[in-house]
Amino acid sequence: MSWTALTHPPDTLIVLVLALAIEAAAGYPDWLYRALGHPVTWIGALIGTLDRRLNRGTPARRRIAGVAGLLVLLGLVGGLALALTALARAAGMWAALPILAVLAASLPAQRSLHSHVARVAADLRRDGLAGGRVAVSMIVGRDPESLDEAGICRAAIESLSENFSDGIVAPAFWIGVGGLPGGALYKAINTADSMIGHRTPRHEAYGWAAARLDDLVNLPASRLTGLLIILAAALRSGASPGAAWRAVRRDARRHRSPNAGWPEAAMAGALGLRLAGPRTYGTTRVEDGWMGDGRAAATPADVERALALYRTACGLLFGLAALLLALFTGALL
């Protein structure tokens, strides 16, 4: 087996398997966040600085500036990740792999996503609508005051489904493809989309490149996420893999996002729910297609069922990464 690089399989797959295990076990420690922040906050600060300095002028000029700002962002983030990879390599193979795995473990967010969504169900049960609205406002951008109990629960499940794709499966996919640099570049693109990829007067032109690139890099992961949820449904009692598959085939393309429909439709079908549909963000009403043809009246128990499905799907993702590592390693022996 050749270990001349740490940005190609099976090297990247070892980093991925270790990173997923570390993050699932420990998450991102609060003490570390308080002391140093998080890679996403560092990336976000850079995006904000570029936005303030470059986003001005006519729409055409803003679009060009947005492309330039995105290139600067990717150059700096990618360059730093490559430098860290080179420094880790200098320590030798057996030291480099765990070092890179610890760094890469900051990119997926299995534990924090589970914690935030579980809090919605718990606060709804304990504090009623007021508690549920506060909890769900931490994970969705829509107006929480417009949501009843069913709306809060649907929003939590939709956030769980979509963030499973772009917050866990997508960074895992790109770590597996390109190691720490691949995962870091994906995180930079996704953070840029979340900050500037909106159709607002300020960002419609400037954020165009970030939004389009985010759609592209999330495309493989969103399809994989839908498949993982379908497979997880086959392993959980009370969930329907057949209905999940049918919902994906029928409804995923109806979502306003080219990627979010896949995990949301799969989750809706698996749980016998109806997700997405028309909703309100601030003062803007978004007309979107429904995912699934089940109940719209979701409950805290449905949020907990979705979390159980999510945990199984995370286990399947880890198993897939381990299987790919075994196959690549076997092919090189």
Residue 185 lies in a domain: yes
d(CA 247, CA 242): 9
Residue 108 lies in a domain: yes
Handedness of CA 40, 41, 47, 51 (dihedral sign): positive
Residue 34 lies in a domain: yes
Range of the domain at 306: 11-332
Number of domains in the chain: 1
What's phi and psi for 38, nearest 5 deg?
A: -140, 150
Which parts of the chain fold into alpha helices (H)? Answer: 11-26, 30-36, 39-54, 59-90, 93-104, 110-137, 149-164, 170-196, 208-235, 241-251, 261-271, 300-332
Strand partners, 279: 286
Do the beta carbons of residue 121 and residue 300 sit within 8 Å?
Answer: yes
List the pLDDT tens digit at each of the 333 positions of the chain: 334 445 566 789 999 999 999 999 999 999 999 999 999 999 999 999 999 999 999 999 999 999 999 999 999 999 999 999 999 988 887 889 999 999 999 999 999 999 999 999 999 999 999 999 999 999 987 788 889 999 999 999 999 999 999 999 999 999 999 999 999 999 999 999 999 998 899 999 999 999 999 999 999 999 999 999 999 999 999 999 999 999 999 999 999 899 999 999 999 999 999 999 877 666 667 778 899 999 999 999 999 999 999 999 999 999 999 999 999 887 655
Helices 149-164 + 261-271 axis angle, to 10: 130
Q: What is the pTM of this model?
A: 0.93
Residue 2 lies in a domain: no
Residue 192 lies in a domain: yes
Residue 75, number of CB atoms within 10 A of its CB: 12
Residue 4 lies in a domain: no
In this structure, what DSSP letter does residue 289 have?
Answer: P
Residue 73 lies in a domain: yes
In this structure, what DSSP letter does residue 24 have?
Answer: H
